[in-house]
């Protein structure tokens, strides 16, 4: 594995380089000076989604959701808990399928919430339905990335 990782800023979506051994340190974006990992979830649109997907050396955990979806509302705080627990080894992002219908179609989203793990731009795991944070974290850790 590379000793330097590409990390996409969750704020301005600039690609940053970070030594692997400093992944757990408080990395700062070279462009906007935002913290690269703050244990929260990043909302992406089609443009920023592709930037993260194509340039991230850490796995992306993506929650495809919609604001009218009851299970999605139940899942949201559990997803945030898992992000706080598993960052910086994973980047947690959300895609609103109502606003980003083209992305939902591109990835064949048929039910929501649908969670997909991508590693180096490739889908490596998928599941649908809400789950508690412990189960979600265990599922993510079980995915070979």
pLDDT in tens, 5-61: 999 999 999 999 999 888 888 789 999 999 999 889 999 999 999 999 999 999 999
Contacts of 141 by beta carbon, 8 Å cutoff, 6+ apart: 86
Contacts of 96 by beta carbon, 8 Å cutoff, 6+ apart: 43, 65, 66, 67
User: CATH number, domain at 85?
Assistant: 3.40.30.10
108 lies in some domain: yes
69 is a catalytic site residue: yes
Total domains, the chain? 1
Q: Annotated catalytic residue: which of 9, 29, 32, 72?
A: 72
46 lies in some domain: yes
Which domain range does residue 130 map to? 37-142
Report the predicted TM-score, pTM, of the whole model to 2 decimal places: 0.94
């Amino acid at each position: 594995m590379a000793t330097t990782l590409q990390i996409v800023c969750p704020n301005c979506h600039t690609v940053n380089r970070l030594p692997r051994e400093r992944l757990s340190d408080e990395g700062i974006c070279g462009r906007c000076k935002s913290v690269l990992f703050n244990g929260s979830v990043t909302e992406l649109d089609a443009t920023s989604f592709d930037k993260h997907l194509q340039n991230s050396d850490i796995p992306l955990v993506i929650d495809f959701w919609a604001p009218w979806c009851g299970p999605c509302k139940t899942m949201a705080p559990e997803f945030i808990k898992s992000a706080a627990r598993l960052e910086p080894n994973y980047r947690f992002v959300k895609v609103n399928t109502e606003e980003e219908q083209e992305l939902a179609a591109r990835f064949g989203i048929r039910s929501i919430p649908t969670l997909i793990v991508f590693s180096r731009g490739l889908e490596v795991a998928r599941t649908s339905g809400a789950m508690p944070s412990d189960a979600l974290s265990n599922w993510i850790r079980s995915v070979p990335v």
